Structure 1
């Protein structure tokens, strides 16, 4: 465990309040990242289960103080996180793109439009990265992260989007591709695309979407284009969605961290529409709708509880 995380754990157990705590938090962006990570793990169901297990195992023996026991479990949990999980923290806190060597990138909370070399129109959502090239037989765009919208022009060469092992081929259309880790969703606003995976393929028409989850191609679904493509106008609309899913979407636009401290809140159903350029304001409103509270530890760290 790093010194920043050790200090963050000490502050969490001391109540995380007061001028001295705020000064420590503001002294280094790494402190904010460490405190957000500790706060998230402190309320993680797996951690709480481990804590209950430790308490049960020790009930017939002289126990260490409860906070010390919790600290030991947190230390063990952090040792298992691995460096890869934390590699993007400095870039995320700075709002920088996580793929600095790609042709087109966006910062967290930003959007960018570009005209590609073939005349096609590309829009990148928050924290997105792509490479583009024109070869002898095709136009090829590789989506590294995030979400893009493409209006393809000229049909002389096939236009293909590569997302890992998934290939999306345009058939004269406007469509979006959304990459969340290993999962991918393709939605079509106009025209048609084909989506090919190593195990099968689907044809997706205007007003439809298809997802690949865990490497498995899902059934084609009908969509409401006004909702699915609202992000192009900096809007997020949802109806009867879980608060956990909505907060997960808003996290993509917030520089820093939004921590949901109470897992019960994640299951509450909410509906509404928000400006993606103001994710913190959206969190405030969602807290009112769900009966939750928001603690602003700093400008970059919000805790919903």
Structure 2
């Protein structure tokens, strides 16, 4: 958890540094200005981080580098002064270097690199339970993560590849020559200029839903043996990855409200799936006392971010008994 938090802070500082360079370019475009305002509007941390970068730059410009006072002979003071001086010089040098048009290079703890959003990159994106968050990717694509989701991304000269570790994500893919590939479970999803959702919540089931464009899905066990499965808008592919020979059938999915807005309209959805979705969004969790309830079917509008409302709806639909214990809502069959 601490590493994830530290990574997010580092990523925010990098983004703020990039925006500082862009906004101090005399040729900054109107689109960049609009995008910068949207970035600032994402939260107080974004504004504070940007102001800190701008403040360091302003402070560095006011330093008289030719007439610096000698450090006082106090234990530890000289070291701290020179560390501060070196830091300011490095920041000013970096800003001047980037403003000259030189490519960006961001070293990470492992193999992470970024070069103007088009060279090799290795990035990690994640959300906490109950959080839905949108990210801008280096290639211009948009990534939206549902609660408790992790994704690792590599942006190389020949491809854009992302691995969904767990959870659910929406990919709004920017069109370009490099293929956009998403790995989830034993599936490889290839897309170009399209919008699709991928869910991999329980490490056993993969769900792929295409909203716009076209994607090809290839499973590891069928590599070299079968053609990839081509999905069209509205198609949904769902299968279990455990065992061998698990068939993957494509079905048309009913009209569904956008889950990224916090509402899901279930069309012939299983109770278990609805509960998994609402549990991703809330600290209050719904549990099934009787596993026989899980495959029951629900249709209609159900609040995806309101466990209380969903529990009440399911109780009314199927005459289930509700038991509450702390942040747990237990649904059981009163006949048992």
Return the offset for 1:161: 0.7
Q: 1:119 aligns with which of 130, 137, 140?
A: 140
CA offsets per residue over residues 123-153 of structure 1, 9 Å max, x none?
Answer: 1112111011211210111111111111111
Find the residue that maps to 1:282 and give its secondary structure: helix
Structure-1-length-normalised TM-score: 0.60
Return the offset for 1:269: 4.2
CA offsets per residue over residues 145-171 of structure 1, 9 Å max, x none?
Answer: 111111111312111111243211113
Report what 2:330 is aligned to.
303
Find the residue that maps to 2:313 and give its secondary structure: helix
Report what 2:259 is aligned to.
231
Task: Give distance in 2, aligned partners of 1:242 and 1:184.
Answer: 15
Task: Give distance in 1, aligned partners of 2:267 and 2:312.
Answer: 18
- 1:219 maps onto 2:249 in alignment: yes
- 1:197 maps onto 2:219 in alignment: yes
Task: Give distance in 2, aligned partners of 1:213 and 1:265.
Answer: 19
- 1:131 maps onto 2:152 in alignment: yes
Unaligned runs of 5+ in 2: 1-122
CA offsets per residue over residues 24-51 of structure 1, 9 Å max, x none?
Answer: xxxxxxxxxxxxxxxxxxxxxxxxxxxx
CA offsets per residue over residues 254-285 of structure 1, 9 Å max, x none?
Answer: 32532222345445543331222212222123
Structure-2-length-normalised TM-score: 0.55
Runs of 4+ in 1 over 6 A off after TM superposition: none
Report what 1:30 is aligned to.
none
User: Per the alignment, do residues 296 and 103 of structure 1 end up closer, same or farther by CA in structure 2, a change over 3 Å counting?
Assistant: same
Q: How many residues align?
A: 202
- 1:184 maps onto 2:184 in alignment: no
Task: Give distance in 1, aligned partners of 2:155 and 2:170.
Answer: 18
Contact 2:278 2:306 in 1 (8 A): no
Report what 1:273 is aligned to.
301
User: Per the alignment, do residues 118 and 106 of structure 1 end up closer, same or farther by CA in structure 2, a change over 3 Å counting?
Assistant: same
Report what 1:247 is aligned to.
275
Report what 1:33 is aligned to.
none
Find the residue that maps to 2:281 and give its secondary structure: coil
Find the residue that maps to 1:284 and give its secondary structure: helix
Contact 1:105 1:130 in 2 (8 A): yes
Find the residue that maps to 1:286 and give its secondary structure: helix
- Return 160-169 or 251-260, whichever deviates more: 251-260
Q: 1:140 aligns with which of 156, 161, 169?
A: 161
Contact 1:185 1:210 in 2 (8 A): yes
User: Per the alignment, do residues 269 and 177 of structure 1 end up closer, same or farther by CA in structure 2, a change over 3 Å counting?
Assistant: closer
Contact 1:197 1:217 in 2 (8 A): no
Report what 2:191 is aligned to.
170
- The correspondence of residues 30-45 of structure 1 with structure 2, limited to 5 A, is none
Task: Give distance in 2, aligned partners of 1:145 and 1:219.
Answer: 22
CA offsets per residue over residues 29-84 of structure 1, 9 Å max, x none?
Answer: xxxxxxxxxxxxxxxxxxxxxxxxxxxxxxxxxxxxxxxxxxxxxxxxxxxxxxxx
Find the residue that maps to 2:138 and give its secondary structure: coil
The answer to which structure, 1 or 2, has the higher relative contact order (CA under 8 A, 6+ apart) is 1
User: Per the alignment, do residues 239 and 210 of structure 1 end up closer, same or farther by CA in structure 2, a change over 3 Å counting?
Assistant: closer
| Max Rg structure | 2
Task: Give distance in 2, aligned partners of 1:159 and 1:297.
Answer: 45
Find the residue that maps to 1:103 and give its secondary structure: strand
Contact 1:295 1:302 in 2 (8 A): yes
Unaligned runs of 5+ in 1: 1-101
